[in-house]
Chains A and B, each alone.
Chain A
Amino acid sequence: MILLGELSLWVALLMAAWTATVSFAGGAMRRTDLVASGERALYATTFFIVLASAGLLTALVTHDFSLTYVASHTSRNLPLAYTITSFWGGQAGSMLFWALVLSAYSAMCVWGNRRSNRELMPYVTGTLGVVLLFFLATTAFGANPYERLGWTPPDGRGMNPQLQNPGMAIHPPNLYLGYVATALPFAFAVAALVTRRLDAGWLAAVRRWTLVSWFFLTVGITLGMWWAYVELGWGGYWAWDPVENSSLLPWLTTTAFLHSIMIQEKRGMLRKWNVVLVISSFLLSILGTFITRSGVIESVHAFAQSPVGSWFLGFLVVATLASGYLVATRLKDLEGQAELESMVSREAAFLYNNLVLVGIAFSVLWGTLFPILSEAVKGEKITVGAPFFNAVNIPLGLLLLALTGIGPLIAWRRASAENLKRQFAVPAFAGVAVGALLFAAGMRDGYALVAYTLGGFVLGTIVQEFYKGTKARHRMHGESVPVALYRLVIRNRRRYGGYIVHFGIVVIFAAFAGFAFRKEMDITLRPGASYTTVDPYGHTWTFTNQGVSEFESLNRFVTGVTLALTRDGESMGILTSEKRQYVDSRKMPTFEPVTEVGILESAKQDVYLVLVGVTGEQTAELSIRFNPLVWWVWYGGMIMAVGGLIVLWPQAERRRPQRGYAAVLEPAAATAGTAS
């Protein structure tokens, strides 16, 4: 099986090369036999990549330590689940995993379009073939998971304990699923540019795949934040680390695209802009991988430096030049069909939304690449840190939040004063009320007050939209309120799913703003001693050291401290934090010791406990934090993901006419993507 997998990798490489060659040739010469051969070759590529992946999984599960990859990432006492996830835990395996995902997507895409977009498909298939060829070549020549160690150790080195976390097991594949999905819109954009078929035809498929990418990036980024928070022990969830930034970049551009595409669908505007966004999302995904894998930028995410970085850089340059050339030579075909009619219109709000999203993306890119840029220009490496990103992105983020509320309320083309008054009265009141209440309650942080005021406003717009829609159905169809609400969402998934995403955004912004009120302290506690402090809400907490214990567990030695907590004199239970030394099957230590933080979660705030060290007779050195509203970051992310799923879910009843109702609610459902 392992040998078969290794061979399959090489066969897949040849198949991908064949796919690319005959698809482009078939497209150019209009030979349907070649086109068909290209598509079959793509399916074959997928098949062999699946075999290659199965081979690696077999090697991992059967502990074949003669492979460097298996010996480096697993050990005999590693739980089976983590043995399987180590497939994408290391460099070589993650490259193969990437190719696997891309080939699966590609096969789905080609199959889904076997009767549609026929003029485009040869070039779509060809482009996907080229991207697959790149990933397979990088896997085979740059980071081959089938590389032999040259000897067979009795046991492997095991998995980094910090990666032994359910969040870390599923966070990377989600990001990959998101990154890789940007390749399909890119392939469609290339095909449309090459054939100059830049009408609306290619957009449905592009929108759908962009949504797929957006969905997985959202889930992946949220999981990454959660992992950093519960596992790394520094008390935060976002550090503006280059690797984090590089996952945010394609998220920002795909979000921008999902909004601007609506303008193109409704009004035929922004055609150049949309093509550029699609291409940028893909290039940023590749750039992100390059940053992650090459080690050119200092990051706490330490991946081994390897030749894979230069492979990515080369591919990035070629892809940028090729797509730049295609866009530049097709500018004429991309002329817009309409002009902006009024500043007070949904188009204008969406344009600003795009401007802000791309502005954020640009500043994040700038800050991330600054060390490289400064070295190139001045010969000195200069880095920027979190203060830079916060200074730029907090104001821009708040502007974006405001637009989240404004956009859906303004009419297309030109909004009347009457429209504005009717739509904005209630939400604006809601926002001001929230702001005033918090101010009265004693909140004085400027940014936080603005964030909560805007959050109240956006929440007001969302509730108002659901209320109006439900009421209309209730009146017109005589449906009960829950049924009306359900059908409202189900029949207009794109619109109401979008509102649910917006709701998730509000929740996340509220959580970000709450984090500004965090409080942290370093304390030393002898056994039995207590420490009393006040949390950001004004409650009095007491922490009592119940003692330090040392014990042995499955694959680790543990030193743990237990604290008893009371709030305003009332017991809140106990909280423990541990130092763990992982060991192999012969009780020899592997890796450095890791810290397991203790978190007392609640909707209001987390109490976050880190055991720093133990001195003398069970005296614990501790770091304690009150982190307000952190919970809501995870829930906000989940809400966004659910909203994304609702939009993404295939519309079963899309052809059914909605009698009389379509006039009340825009029949957005009719245009919701069907091709994929």
Chain B
Amino acid sequence: MKPRTKFAIGGLLVLSTATYLMASSISETAVYYLTPNELTAKVAKDPTFYGTGVKVGGRVVRGTIEREPGGRMVRFVVTDSAGRSRIPVVYRGIAPDTFTDEVDVVVEGRLGRDGTFQATTLLAKCASRYENAPQQPGAEHPAGVPRSTAAVPASPEVHASS
């Protein structure tokens, strides 16, 4: 056998092992990534979807955050950007620093029969976090940021919902 052929066989062996590992672990670790709307639609169509592990990406509804003293459990409601579906979430664990009203969050867990989402992980990000233009007078911002006294027209930077 030519060395080239031998190498090709060895290479194929390596690649097929890698492919096998990829295929097998994908089926084990892959989870759906849904919006609250999609999740509501899914369970309406197929009730067995309750209790299936999913990731849900949505926005925290302002004023719905209830933190347990000690910070080990938090309840809140997530919604779509369109605000159509609202899903209550219970997360047992330490919420990240970025978690606050109106941030975009990704929760991983299961939707219970009672319609409450039991989350095991919680990722939070704020669109205004790294890019954070000053608000103009009259524009509300949850963090209570400084406001200019200058009279200027409204800014397009403000969140649609604020």
Q: Out of B7, B57, B97, B130, which one reaches A592, CB within 8 Å?
A: B97
User: In whole angstroms, how far apart are the Cα atoms of A610 and B94 in the complex?
Assistant: 10
Distance between Cα atoms of A524 and B94 in the complex (Å):
13
Q: Is the CB of B131 within 8 A of A303?
A: yes
Q: Which of A340, A352, A370, A399 has the most CB of B within 10 A?
A: A340
Separation of A348 and B4 alpha carbons in the complex (Å)? 9
B160 at the interface (CB under 8 A from A): no
A91's partner among B96, B104, B123, B131 (CB-CB below 8 A) is B131
A391: B residues at CB distance < 8 A = 21, 24-25, 28-29
B64 within 8 A of A: no
Instruction: Report A-chain residues with C-beta under 8 Å of the C-beta of B134.
Output: 65, 71-72, 149, 153, 156-157
A621–B126 alpha-carbon span in the complex (Å): 25
Q: Which residues of B contact A355 (CB under 8 A)?
A: 11, 14-15
* Chain B proximity of A385: nearest CB distance (Å): 6
- Cβ-neighbour of A395 out of B21, B97, B123 (below 8 A): B21
User: A384: which of B29, B96, B131 is its contact (CB, 8 Å)?
Assistant: B29
Residues on A with beta carbons closer than 8 Å to the beta carbon of B51: none
Question: Known: A71-B134, A615-B70. Is A150-B152 also a contact (CB below 8 A)?
Answer: yes
Which chain A residues border B100 with CB–CB below 8 Å?
A: 592
Q: Do residues B150 and A383 form an inter-chain contact, with CB atoms below 8 A?
A: no
Contact call B125/A300, Cβ cutoff below 8 A: yes
Chain B residue nearest to A623 in the complex (CB): B94
Residues of A within 8 A of B26 (CB): 370, 384, 388
Binary B-proximity of A328-349 (CB < 8 A = 1, otherwise 0): 0000000000011111010010
For chain A, give the interface size range.
35 or more
- B3 contacts across to A, CB distance below 8 A: 339-343, 345, 348
- B contact residues around A589 at 8 Å (CB): 143-144
Question: Quick one: which of A156, A352, A363, A383 contacts B10, CB cutoff 8 A?
Answer: A352
Contact of A72 with B123 at beta-carbon distance under 8 Å, contacts A359-B18, A388-B30, A621-B72 already known: no
The answer to whether A615 and B25 have CB atoms under 8 Å apart is: no
Question: Is the CB of A276 closer than 8 A to any CB of chain B?
Answer: no
What 0/1 pattern do residues 90 to 114 of B give for CB contact below 8 A with A?
Answer: 0000101111100010100000000
**Contact indicator A359/B15 (Cβ below 8 Å):** yes
A613 touching B106 by the CB < 8 A rule? no
Give the chain A neighbours of B96 by CB distance below 8 A: 234
B44 CB–A CB distance under 8 Å: no
**Which residue of the partner chain, among B10, B131, B150, contacts A343 with CB atoms under 8 Å?**
B10
Q: Which of A603-617 contact B (CB under 8 A)?
A: 610, 612-613, 615-616
Q: Within 8 Å CB of B131, what residues of A?
A: 72, 90-91, 303-304
Distance A359 CA – B70 CA, assembled complex (angstroms): 45
Within 8 A of A (CB), among B1-19: 3-4, 6-7, 10-11, 14-15, 17-18
Give the residues in chain B near A396, CB-CB below 8 Å.
18
B33 interface residue (CB < 8 Å to A): yes
Q: Which of A91, A371, A594, A613 has the most CB of B within 10 A?
A: A613
Residues of B within 8 A of A381 (CB): 32-34
Q: In the complex where A71-B134, A72-B132, A387-B25 touch, is A612 in contact with B7 (Cβ < 8 A)?
A: no
**CB-based contact A380/B25 at 8 Å:** no
Minimum C-beta distance from B8 to chain A (A): 10
- B55: chain A residues at CB < 8 Å are 383
21 example contacts (A-B, Cβ-Cβ < 8 A) are as follows: A72-B134, A153-B150, A160-B129, A160-B130, A298-B57, A298-B123, A343-B6, A343-B7, A343-B10, A351-B11, A355-B15, A359-B15, A363-B18, A363-B22, A381-B34, A382-B33, A388-B22, A388-B30, A392-B25, A522-B72, A621-B70
Top 10 closest pairs, chain A to chain B, by CB: A613-B71, A302-B125, A304-B131, A391-B25, A381-B33, A151-B152, A387-B29, A153-B134, A621-B70, A615-B69
Q: Which residues of A contact B (CB under 8 A)?
A: 65, 68, 71-73, 89-91, 149-157, 160, 162-163, 233-234, 298-300, 302-305, 339-343, 345, 348, 351-352, 355-356, 359, 362-363, 366-367, 370-371, 374, 380-385, 387-388, 391-392, 395-396, 399, 522, 524, 584, 586, 588-595, 610, 612-613, 615-616, 619, 621, 623
Further 8 A-B residue pairs, CB within 8 A, beyond A359-B14, A391-B21: A68-B133, A153-B134, A302-B129, A371-B33, A382-B33, A524-B70, A613-B71, A621-B70
